[in-house]
Amino acid sequence: MSEGSHNYLSARKGLWSWLATTDHKRIGILYAMACGTFFLLGGILATFVRTELGTPGETILDQDGYNQIFTLHGVVMVFLVIIPAIPGILGNFVLPIQIGAKDVAFPRLNLASWYLFMAGALMAVFGWLFVGNVDTGWTFYTPYSSGASNAVLWLTSAVFVAGFASIFTGLNFIVTVHKMRAPGMTWNRLPLFVWAIYATGIVQVLATPVIGITMVLLFLEKLMQIGIFDPALGGDPVLFQHFFWFYSHPAVYIMILPAMGIISDLMGTFSRQQVSGYTFIALSSVAIAFLGFLVWGHHMFVAGQSALSSIIFSMLTFLIGIPTGIKVFNWVATMYKGSVWLRTPMIYALMFLFLFSIGGLTGIMVGVLAVDVHLHDTYFVVAHFHYVMMGGALIGLIGGLHYWWPKITGRMYNETAGVIAAILVFIGFNVTFFPQFFLGSRGMPRRYHDYTELLPNFPEFAPLNLVSTIGSYILAVGLLMILVYALYSLFKGPKAPANPWGACTLEWTHTGRLPDEHNFHETPLVTRGPYDFRLADDVFGPKEED
């Protein structure tokens, strides 16, 4: 174990050592800075949206401004935050160390992925700032998008380019897991985070090219009117929706699977217990990745697809509940008779259980054909996918960042501040999004900048929207608090021990306070599973003789 002068941060100095790095850990930090910036941007846009809706009538945005803001909020959060964040930040930093590798299989490709991602992000921002308005929503439905401003050309190109970043990241992790495992790191000794990132990689590799070609066709539709998607030219807009959701539904699992992996690791570590149903959790990730490809039609129940298709898609959608339920029950069972240690990461894991279960179960509700006809395009759907995307994916990310923070930065954060912020996030999140279930089930449509005309029939829309907006401010305060104590910890935080959580996976047991540039002095020899606390004499010392 090394101390001080030879860790991955101090090994090389200067800006160029970061911009040209092929070290998976540093690339993870590059992703963290990029995604963190975009998350801040997307969050600010979200508070604009909520402020506009907080009171009836025009508050701060007119209708065109509102349409642009919610479109950009969606594009930024989906393509620049939730999809890349966990694989990009934590997958990069943690996965190679967890399997005992010195790096990913293709380090230069890994760096290229980050540059592609940044190129895509800059194209999106450029198009938005200098080319024109985009108010299509993040889904770019035709014919609206093919008739919108030329900024659509920039945004579709941005999605295409950033998509390749996602493909190469997934490809890299699949090959890394197959070919780079340390001796003794068998498939059933992989940490569950690795299994989750592996399953995510499969989805990234198989689904992302389809959004790529969809964006190419949409680009050409707008540029040359090729008539594939635009009904005015004989094209079929529903075909666009099929193409779009063939990627974008599996993309939902690109977002949630890595978070599920984090939760599995947190449950094991902070319950001091073998994760219950290890094999089932591992394979349910693969099952979700597979089933995720068969359900895209449930986004199109009212778009004019045949009744038979809708019935089949509805049934397949219910099947997703099985592997997901397997995970949730096994996480709960992991805590049972465990020694639960309620630190900040574990609080986020529990929060995930609660919020994701609500998000998942309401997902089953909107998967029911008849119910969906009522709820489609209402705030119920908005609430549902925020419970999954924010309450699931982002809460998982925040929990994971708290968990691996000491390993990434070598410093601890203030635990009390962490707990307070977590409570604020939890309260703020629920106050924001729970009222939206009521709003949606009463018929409040999504993507409207105003609801004044609806108030005579639905007077409850005003107080519910106000509560939701107040909640979003509480949520913002909680998230900003995390930013503040994280930055404080970065410069002033107390130095962390090598394994502050008493975890059993290699990144904690076989590296120093900060990992070396090449992770390990000697390739680890793995002799136990990732959560075999009973066998972890290297963590807890030899067992006492009875």
Partner 1 sequence: MSSTGTTLKHYFVNHDQQFDAAKLGMWLFLVTEILLFSGMFVAYAVYRSWHPEVFVQASELLDWRLGALNTVVLLASSFTVALSIHFIQKGENDKVVVLLLMTLLCAAIFMVVKYFEYSGKFSHGVFPGAGFEPHGIIDGKDYSTYDIPFAPQFFSIYFVMTGIHGVHVLVGMGVFVWLVTRVARGHFSPQWYTPVELTGLYWHLVDIIWIFLFPLLYLI
Which residues form the interface with partner 1 (CB under 8 A)? Answer: 101-107, 109, 167, 171-172, 174-176, 178-180, 205-210, 212-214, 216-217, 220, 224-228, 233-236, 239, 243, 518, 523
Using DSSP's 3-state secondary structure scheme, residue 215 falls into helix
User: Shortest distance, CB of residue 223 to partner 1, whole angstroms?
Assistant: 8
Rounded distance between C-alpha atoms, residue 428 and residue 433, angstroms: 9
User: Shortest distance, CB of residue 217 to partner 1, whole angstroms?
Assistant: 7
User: Contact at 8 Å (CB) between 417 and 343?
Assistant: no
Q: Which residues contact 163 (CB under 8 A, 6 or more apart)?
A: 120, 208, 209, 211, 212, 215
User: Shortest distance, CB of residue 26 to partner 1, whole angstroms?
Assistant: 14
Q: Which is nearer to partner 1, 234 or 542 (CB)?
A: 234
User: Contact at 8 Å (CB) between 439 and 482?
Assistant: no
Q: Which is nearer to partner 1, 221 or 372 (CB)?
A: 221
Q: Which is nearer to partner 1, 40 or 206 (CB)?
A: 206
Q: Which is nearer to partner 1, 53 or 153 (CB)?
A: 153
User: Shortest distance, CB of residue 169 to partner 1, whole angstroms?
Assistant: 12
Q: Which is nearer to partner 1, 129 or 525 (CB)?
A: 525
Q: Which is nearer to partner 1, 295 or 431 (CB)?
A: 295
Q: Which is nearer to partner 1, 180 or 190 (CB)?
A: 180
User: Shortest distance, CB of residue 24 to partner 1, whole angstroms?
Assistant: 9
3-state SS record for 341-404: CCCHHHHHHHHHHHHHHHHHHHHHHHHCHHHHHHHCCEHHHHHHHHHHHHHHHHHHHHHHHHHH
User: Shortest distance, CB of residue 258 to partner 1, whole angstroms?
Assistant: 18
Q: Which is nearer to partner 1, 224 or 307 (CB)?
A: 224
Using DSSP's 3-state secondary structure scheme, residue 41 falls into helix
Rounded distance between C-alpha atoms, residue 451 and residue 455, angstroms: 7
Residue that the structure tokens 């509700």 belong to: 365
Amino acid symbol at 414: N
User: Shortest distance, CB of residue 174 to partner 1, whole angstroms?
Assistant: 6
User: Shortest distance, CB of residue 237 to partner 1, whole angstroms?
Assistant: 13
Rounded distance between C-alpha atoms, residue 52 and residue 447, angstroms: 12
Q: Which is nearer to partner 1, 186 or 339 (CB)?
A: 186
For residue 276, the 8-state DSSP code is: T
Q: Which is nearer to partner 1, 189 or 242 (CB)?
A: 242
Which tokens sit at 235?
């094209």
Amino acid symbol at 200: T
Helix (H) or strand (E) holding 233: none
User: Contact at 8 Å (CB) between 21 and 112?
Assistant: no
Which tokens sit at 80?
């620049």
Long-range contacts, stretch 415-422, CB < 8 angstroms, 24+ apart: 415/343, 415/344, 417/481, 417/485, 418/343, 418/344, 418/347, 418/482, 418/485, 419/344, 419/347, 420/481, 421/478, 421/479, 421/481, 421/482, 421/485, 422/344, 422/347, 422/348, 422/351, 422/478
Helix axes 107-126, 24-54, angle to 10 degrees: 30
Rounded distance between C-alpha atoms, residue 24 and residue 516, angstroms: 12
Give Cα separations from 130 to 123, 149, 154, 156, 210 (angstroms). 10, 12, 10, 15, 28
User: Shortest distance, CB of residue 122 to partner 1, whole angstroms?
Assistant: 23
Q: Which is nearer to partner 1, 169 or 505 (CB)?
A: 169
Rounded distance between C-alpha atoms, residue 311 and residue 307, angstroms: 6
User: Shortest distance, CB of residue 259 to partner 1, whole angstroms?
Assistant: 24
Rounded distance between C-alpha atoms, residue 86 and residue 264, angstroms: 14
User: Shortest distance, CB of residue 514 to partner 1, whole angstroms?
Assistant: 19
Q: Which is nearer to partner 1, 211 or 255 (CB)?
A: 211
Dihedral (CA of 126, 132, 136, 140) sign: negative
User: Shortest distance, CB of residue 294 to partner 1, whole angstroms?
Assistant: 15
